[in-house]
A and B are shown apart, each in its own frame.
Chain A
Amino acid sequence: MEHLLNIALLTAGGTLAGILVGAIPGLSATMAVAILVSLTYGWDVTSALAVIMGIYQGAVFGGSITACLINIPGAPSSVVTTLDGYPLAKRGEGGIAIGWACTESFLGGLVGVLALWIGTPLIARIAIGFAPQDYFLLAIFGILLVGSFAEGSFGKAMFTASLGIVMGLIGLDLITGMPRLTFGNDLLVKGVDLVTAILGLFGLSEVLYQLYQNSSAHVIQKVGRVLPPLNLLARYLPLTLRTSSIGVLIGALPGVGGPIASLMAYDHAKRTVKNPSSPFGEGAYEGVVASESANNAAIGGAIIPMLTLGIPGDAVTAVIIGAFQIHGLRPGPMLMTETPELFNMIVLSLLFATLFFLIFGMLLIKPFIKLVSIPQNILLPPIIFITVIGAYAINSSLIDVAWMAFFGIVGFVFKLYKFPIPPMVLGLVLGPLMDETFRRTMISYRGNFGDLLGAIAVSPISLSVVALMGVTFYLMFRKPGKAKRG
C-alpha cells in the first residue's frame, strides 16, 4: 500500500511537471524525460519510471493548452489540435477547447493503457521467437518510417538517420570487442551516451532555436467554462474509440509517435464525420476530439514495441530505453518474463497519470496559463542551466556536459537548415541493434546472402515484418505526394 501511494505521488508530481513542460512552447516531453532520466540515476528504477510516465502523459496533454489558446502547439503531437482548438478559442470557447482536449486525452489515454496492458504480453510472446534478421528488418522499417514522416526532405532525414547509426557504433564492437571509430581516443571508447546526445539534440538545440526565432509576446485568448457538455461527450464516444485505436496502432509503429497519430486520426474524422459541430478547421469539436484522443492513445502504443522489442515507438520511448540501460536493464521479450512487476508498474503509472492530468487539467488551467505567459527570454536561460545539470547528473562528469553542448550545436545547425533530428535519435538507438543483428545473421548464414533471403522467405515472422513494411508504406504513399505532418 505504501509503495502504491509512493508511485501515485511520484506520478502526480511527474504529471504536473509534464503538463507545464508540454504547455510551454520550446520545451518538450523528450527534453524533460531526458533530464529526468539522468537526474533519477540514483533512484530505484520503478520510482524513476513512475515520474517519467507522469511527464510523458502530462506533456502530451499539456501541449494542447497553448495549441488552443495561442495557436502554438506546446508539443509536436498538438500541432493538429491548433487547427480547430484555436478557432474555438477565438470565438470565446477557449475553456471548452481545453476541456475537450483534457477529456479526450483522458479517454485516449485509457484506451492506450488498455492496449498496452493487453498487447504487450501478446507481442512479447511472439517476440521470443524473433530471429536476429527480424530485429534487423524491424529496425530498417523504423528508420525508413521515421524518415518518411520527418520534416524536410527524405534525403535529409536519411542523412541524419545514417549519422545517428554511425555515431551509435562508436566505441567497442559488441561482437569482436575491438574499438571502432574511436581514433585512439579514450573518451570515445565508451561510445556516445544516448541520454547526453538526446539532451543536446532535443533540449539545448530547441532552446537555442527558440531564442533564434525571437518569438514575440503571445496573445492569449480568454478562458471561460472548461467542462464540455456531457451529452456531446457521449455522442462523440464512437469517434473517440476509433481515433484512439488509430492512435494506438500508429503509436506502435517504430519511430512514428503522437504527431502522425493525431494527423491520421484528424484525417479519419474529416472523412467520416458527416455533420461536424462546425466545419473542420473552423472550430469543430470533432477535430479536437480526434487529435487529442489519438495523441494520448499513441503513448500506450509507443511503449509496446519499446518493452517487447527494444525498438522505440517515438523519441520519448527512445529516451526511456536509455533509462532502462542506466539501470542495467535491457528492453525486450525477456524483460517481461524476468521482471513482470516492472511492466505492471508502468501500466499502473500510466493509469495514474491519465487520472491525474484529467484532474489537474480541469482544475488548474488558469495557473498554467499564467506560467505559460512568462516571456521566453526569462524562461529559457534557466532551462539551459537545468539541461546542463541534467547532462552533469548522468555520471557527475563535466565531459558529459561538453558532449551535450556538442550535440546541442549539431541539433541547432540541423534545425537551421531543416535537417530533421528524430531520425538521428532513432539511429543512435537502433544503430547498435542493427549492426549486431545483421552481423549475427550473416555469421549464422556464413556470409551467404542468398541463404538469408531464403530464410526470410520461409519464416512466418520475417515475412510478416516484410509484409507490414509493404502495407504500411503502401498506405502511407498511395495518395499523390508524400504524407506530411500537419
Chain B
Amino acid sequence: MKAVRYKSGEIGANIVFLLVAMFFLTSSFFIDAGNSQALSSPKIVPILLSAVMVVCAVLSLIEAIKTRQVSKATENVFQLRVLTYVGVFFVYVGALFLLPFWLASAAFLLFSFLYWKSLPPVKAILASAGVVAVSMTLFAKVFYIDF
C-alpha cells in the first residue's frame, strides 16, 4: 500500500490564523469599557471584527481541509533556501541593535549576494560596500536621516 502524504502547510497556517483570531477575540473581551454602554463601548468593534475573523478563519480552514492535496514526499530544496534566508534576515534585524548600521547592512548584503550566487566574492564585497556607502550617504544628506 502506498504511503500518502497530504500538503499540511496550508492546514497548519489556517489553524494558526484561527488561533490568532481567537486570541484577539478573547483579548477584546478584556478591554476596559469604563462606564460606556454596550454599542458605544471601546470593546464593541474589536469584539465584532474578531468574531468575523474567527468565522472567516474557520471557513478557510474547512476549505483547506477539503482541498488538501496529495504531495510527493520530497523536499523543495529551493523553498528551504528561501525560508533560511528569511531567518538570516531576522538575524540581520537583530544585529542592527548590536552593531553599527553600516556594518550589519554590509554583512547582510554580502551574505545575500553570496547566498544567491548573484556575484563572485570580490564583486560581492565591492557591491555590498558600494551600496551601503552610497545609500547611507545619500539618505543622510538628502533625507536628513541620522544613522
Contact = CB atoms under 8 A, between A and B. Distances in A.
Given A385-B108, A447-B39, A180 B46 contact: yes
A282 B24 CA distance: 50
Given A178-B34, A442-B39, 10 more contacts: A156-B60, A158-B56, A165-B45, A176-B36, A381-B116, A388-B96, A416-B9, A439-B45, A447-B37, A449-B39
Secondary structure type dominating chain B contacts: helix
Interface residues of B, number: 65
A434 B45 CA distance: 8
Residue of B9, B52, B105 ringed by the most chain A CB atoms within 10 A: B52
B44 A439 contact: yes
A179 B132 CA distance: 40
B143 A42 contact: yes
A166 B144 contact: no
Interface residues of A, number: 60
B118 interface: yes
A175 B42 contact: yes
B103 interface: no
B13 A155 contact: no
Interface in B46-82: 46, 49-50, 52-53, 56-57, 59-60, 63, 78-79, 82
A159 B60 contact: yes
Contacts of B117: 377
B31 A180 contact: yes
Contacts, number: 163
Instruction: For the complex of A and B, list the 3 residue pairs with the smallest distance between their C-beta atoms, beginning with the closest.
Output: A381-B112, A159-B56, A377-B116
Contacts of B31: 178, 180-181
Given A39-B145, A381-B116, A447-B38, A211 B85 contact: yes
Q: Which interface residue of A208, A214, A417 has the most chain B CB atoms within 10 A?
A: A417
Interface string A285-319: 00000000000000000000000000000000000
Given A155-B56, A385-B135, A162 B49 contact: yes
Nearest to A443: B40
A368 to B, nearest CB: 21
A375 B44 CA distance: 50
A314 B87 CA distance: 32
B86 A412 contact: yes
A398 interface: yes
Contacts of B20: 163
Interface stretch (A23-31, A240-248, A354-362, A401-409): A401-409
22 contacts: A153-B63, A155-B60, A156-B60, A159-B60, A162-B21, A162-B50, A162-B56, A183-B27, A208-B89, A211-B116, A377-B116, A378-B118, A381-B109, A385-B105, A389-B135, A398-B97, A401-B96, A409-B86, A417-B10, A419-B17, A439-B42, A439-B45
Residue from B36, B40, B117 whose CB has the most chain A CB atoms within 10 Å: B40
B91 to A, nearest CB: 11
Contacts of B59: 155
Nearest to A375: B118
Nearest to A436: B45
Contacts of A212: 79, 82
Given A176-B34, A377-B118, A416 B13 contact: yes
A211 B117 CA distance: 13
User: Taking each of B60, B113, B127, which has the highest tally of chain A beta carbons within 10 Å of its own beta carbon?
Assistant: B60
A434 B52 CA distance: 15
Interface of B: 9-10, 13-14, 17, 20-21, 24, 27-28, 31-32, 34, 36-46, 49-50, 52-53, 56-57, 59-60, 63, 78-79, 82, 85-86, 89-90, 92-93, 96-97, 101, 105, 108-109, 112-113, 116-119, 127, 131-132, 135-136, 139, 143-147
A169 B56 contact: no
Contacts of A180: 31, 42-43, 46
A204 to B, nearest CB: 8
Contacts of A449: 39
A396 interface: yes
Contacts of A162: 21, 49-50, 52-53, 56
A173 interface: yes
Contacts of B9: 416-417
Contacts of B38: 447
A118 interface: no
Contacts of A447: 37-40
Contacts of A439: 39-42, 44-45
A382 B56 contact: no
B93 A401 contact: yes
Nearest to A173: B42
A298 to B, nearest CB: 28
A156 B131 contact: no
Contacts of B36: 176
Contact of A389 (B32, B63, B90, B145): B145
A106 interface: no
A417 B93 contact: no
A42 B50 contact: no
Contact of B119 (A176, A378, A384, A434): A378
A118 B20 CA distance: 45
Given A162-B56, A169-B45, A212-B79, A393 B145 contact: yes
A412 B79 CA distance: 13
A394 to B, nearest CB: 10
A40 interface: yes
